[in-house]
Amino acid sequence: MGCGASKAAVANDPLLLDGKGSGQKSGNGPSSNVFGLLSLTRGLTADGAITVGGSENSAGGMYGFDGKFGLAGGENGASGTGGAGVGKFGVGGGGKNGSSSIQPINSESSVKVVTVVRPLMDHEKGCEDIVKILPPGKIELPKKQNGSGTEDKYPFEFDRVVRVTSPEVSKELYAALVLPVVERFCQGFNATVLAYGQTGSGKTYTMGTSCNSKDVLAPDPTGVVPRSLKVLFSYIQIASQTYDIILKAQYVEIYNENVLDLLSTETSGKNGTSKLDIRERPDGDVYVEGACEINVKSREEVARILDQGNTKRSTAAHKMNSESSRSHAIVTLTMEQRAKISSAQKIPADLRFLLSKLNLVDLAGSERVKDTGASGDRFSEGVSINKGLMELGNVINALTEGKKRSHVPYRNSKLTRLLQDSLGGNSETLFVACVSPADKNHEQTLNTLRYASRARAIRNNLRLNNKLSPEEELEYLRTLVQQLQSENDQLKTRLAKTGL
């Protein structure tokens, strides 16, 4: 499905379904403009379950990450109800006689964690598969042979544990856990999907950051990044009826503790091989100063950008991976949505401007020299990778200390600095732990599961990014008043012609 697909095609696309609610409509009366991801990604009809200003008696729509998210009802329609998981939401309400429940959205959200177990690889022939999965969210490792300690097994519990045996399993995993994060991004919240694990555990495959243009544009793409792009542009296609939308893409890597711009066209200088600086805006937003941000209007344009970036990304071979990532890579999409003047009257004031950021993070894998056989530059890269991951672990530990926490060491590495919002900040975050089932990787797999278990205890402070600057808000309201005055003058002219 390309970017020009019809509403029906979007609604019936099997990639976007979760098997719930197909064919449902909201309210008791017909709906008006479609707004929101539920109608695009949950297999509902083109009328949608989220509407902006439905007709008389139409109730507010329902949307859920863990519950229901009501945007607006019609003249006598009630607003939608709040839901569990990220707080109770009631954004917008009925029209003339409808109930209203506009509230600022500012709530706590835990980091979600999914563990992905890949199949045994060719270089693991002769190894035993030691991972035991107890669906939907439990996983166990046995005690390591000749290991110390009293434990006879190591049990863990996450939001989901999946053994990836086919593309269908990957698709179901995406619909269940990644899709809600992308939906958050489209609603105006910051969001992050982050893949962690030992080298060769399948992180880059899971994220899809190494996909070429053909893979990204496939009718049924694989990987978090390609699938998210398909969902995102399906959303933009419909939401553009209500919003003016600007989408920007950025692609950077952290290599040997230097932040490099993978989209720079320069071959030297600050935007080429030299390091970029990380800055913080007055509102707390952390960004890479000088990194290219490219306006994109289609999946094709993003695919070309990913191709360009992947030709520059640092990779190399070692004993455990023929194409090992030697850097942490971050694809960042920033979306600005401004309600069209013609639609502003139908949209609650809190939803007329939305600015959100989506980080798609492919971390380099943790390494042990005795396993990788690395030397020279590969050894130095491994040391840098492990240092960044160690600092990430220190941040996770600090965030899960509860009331004892006094300082979170975000500034100790470039990686943790860039992920400051994603871990403990303003973001809906999904942590994907990728593991090998081979017995020879027992220690590395156990370390990954322990790492992920701590990450699951992190609580983020999620808030809707809907604030214009005072100057922008004044200009927007001035334009809106002019539009309403023009419509009023036209109505007076028509009434005068009819003699009323």
Tokens of 325: 């990532």
Tokens of 122: 């060719």
pLDDT of residue 125: 85
Q: Where are the beta strands (DSSP E) in 310-458?
A: 315-318, 321-325, 328-339, 353-362, 428-435
Among 71, 12, 68, 59, residue whose Cα is nearest residue 40 = 12
**Terminal Cα-to-Cα distance of the chain (whole angstroms):** 52
pTM of the model: 0.75
Among 427, 428, 425, 433, residue whose Cα is nearest residue 451 = 433
pLDDT of residue 105: 55
Task: Per-residue pLDDT tens, the chain, 500 aa: give them.
Answer: 233 333 333 333 323 322 232 233 333 322 223 333 333 333 322 233 333 333 333 333 333 322 233 333 333 333 333 322 222 233 333 333 333 333 345 678 899 999 999 999 888 888 999 999 999 999 999 987 766 666 789 999 999 999 998 888 989 999 999 999 999 999 999 999 999 998 888 888 899 887 888 888 998 898 999 999 999 999 999 999 999 999 999 999 998 888 999 998 775 543 344 579 999 988 888 999 999 999 999 999 999 999 988 888 765 444 444 455 568 899 999 999 999 888 877 888 889 899 999 999 999 876 555 555 544 566 667 677 878 889 999 999 999 987 666 789 999 999 999 999 999 999 999 999 999 999 999 999 999 999 999 999 999 999 999 987 777 777 777 877 887 788 888 888 888 888 76
Q: Which residue pairs from 335-339 have beta carbons closer than 8 angstroms and sit at least 24 positions apart in sequence? A: 335/185, 335/186, 335/245, 335/246, 335/247, 335/248, 336/245, 336/246, 337/188, 337/239, 337/243, 337/244, 337/245, 338/243, 338/244, 338/245, 338/476, 339/242, 339/243, 339/244
Known binding-site residue numbers for ATP: 197-204
Tokens of 326: 């030697």
pLDDT of residue 367: 53
Q: Which phi and psi (to 5°) does residue 328 adopt? A: -90, 130
> What is the Cα–Cα distance from 22 to 204, expressed in whole angstroms?
33
Known binding-site residue numbers: 197-204
Q: Calculate the alpha carbon distances from 32 to 26, 154, 480 in Å.
A: 11, 53, 21
**Domains in the chain, please, with CATH?**
106-463 (3.40.850.10)
pLDDT of residue 271: 38
Among 348, 337, 473, 332, residue whose Cα is nearest residue 69 = 348
Residue 58 contacts residue 35 (beta carbons within 8 Å): no
The Cβ of residue 350 has, within 10 Å, a number of other Cβ atoms equal to 17
Q: Where are the beta strands (DSSP E) in 256-403?
A: 258-261, 277-280, 286-289, 294-295, 315-318, 321-325, 328-339, 353-362
